[in-house]
Homo-oligomer: A and B are copies of this chain.
Amino acid sequence: MRISQLSAASGVPIPTIKYYLREGLLPAGEQTAATRAEYGESHVRRLRLIRALLEVGRLSIASIRKVLAAVDDENLSMHHVLGTAHYAIAPEIDSHPGDEDWQRARAEADRLIDDLGWQVDPEAPTRDELAQTILTLDRLGLPATGDALRPYAEAAVNLVAEHEINTIPLDGPREAAVEALVVGTIVHGRILDIMRRLAHESVSARLFGIDPAENAGPES
């Protein structure tokens, strides 16, 4: 297809497509004449993925380039490609390896992951995220030990193992898997947070014996 058709098929404007081509995010089309190139389905898929990384993942162009390089690297297993995407969408955190409190929190995070029997790379930045949140809990005087965090770990792993992993198309093109992972992690994370707050209200209403009719709107 021509660049105009690629634009129509992907919903990405032609100047943006040209920008991605210049930045090397989108591979060049097949040159069929001096001013003419042919694009295929792989270009449509790649554009979908770039949009998801940009609009849902809110990644920088530099981070997108890193994720796409992993997608294109035939030597990387699917597990490592997905891992690259996961690490790219994780929030940046300030680790303080020299700080004593930080080391304690990080050791607590590592111990918890070990106790759970989870297989997580020792260099995963997610471990630092967990350490930072343990520090926050500590600072607020809230329980931050493995016992306090275990219910969250169990809820998470059940959800992932029984449901989420099946929503990622692992047998198709890598672009599709990475797109599903990024969008799923972010948008379903938002869903889970909303459900949790809705569930809080419902459980509280039951606990305090709120009459459902009292909840039936302003006219009741």
Residues of A participating in the B interface, judged by any CB pair closer than 8 Å: 52, 56, 77-79, 82-83, 86, 90, 113, 118-124, 126-127, 129-130, 133, 136-137, 140, 142, 149, 151-153, 155-165, 170, 181, 183-185, 187-208, 210, 212, 215-218
Contacts and interface: CB of A to CB of B under 8 A. Distances in A.
A170 B217 CA distance: 26
Contact of A195 (B157, B181, B216): B157
B162 A151 contact: yes
A129 B119 CA distance: 34
A174 to B, nearest CB: 13
Contact of A185 (B77, B200, B208): B200
A197 to B, nearest CB: 5
Given A133-B194, A206-B119, A207-B165, A124 B160 contact: no
Secondary structure type dominating chain A contacts: helix
Nearest to A123: B217
Contacts of A119: 201-202, 205-206, 210, 212, 215
A129 B194 contact: yes
Q: For the complex formed by this chain, how many copies does it contain in all? A: 2
Given A165-B203, A202-B119, A126 B194 contact: yes
Contacts of A198: 113, 118, 120, 124, 126-127, 130, 153, 156
A157 B203 contact: yes
A199 B142 contact: no
B77 A208 contact: yes
Contacts of A118: 198-199, 201-202
B201 A196 contact: no
A155 B151 contact: no
10 contacts: A79-B205, A79-B210, A83-B201, A118-B202, A133-B194, A157-B199, A160-B196, A165-B203, A185-B196, A192-B193
A210 B79 CA distance: 8
Interface centre among A79, A153, A216 (most CB of B within 10 A): A79
A182 to B, nearest CB: 10
Nearest to A156: B195
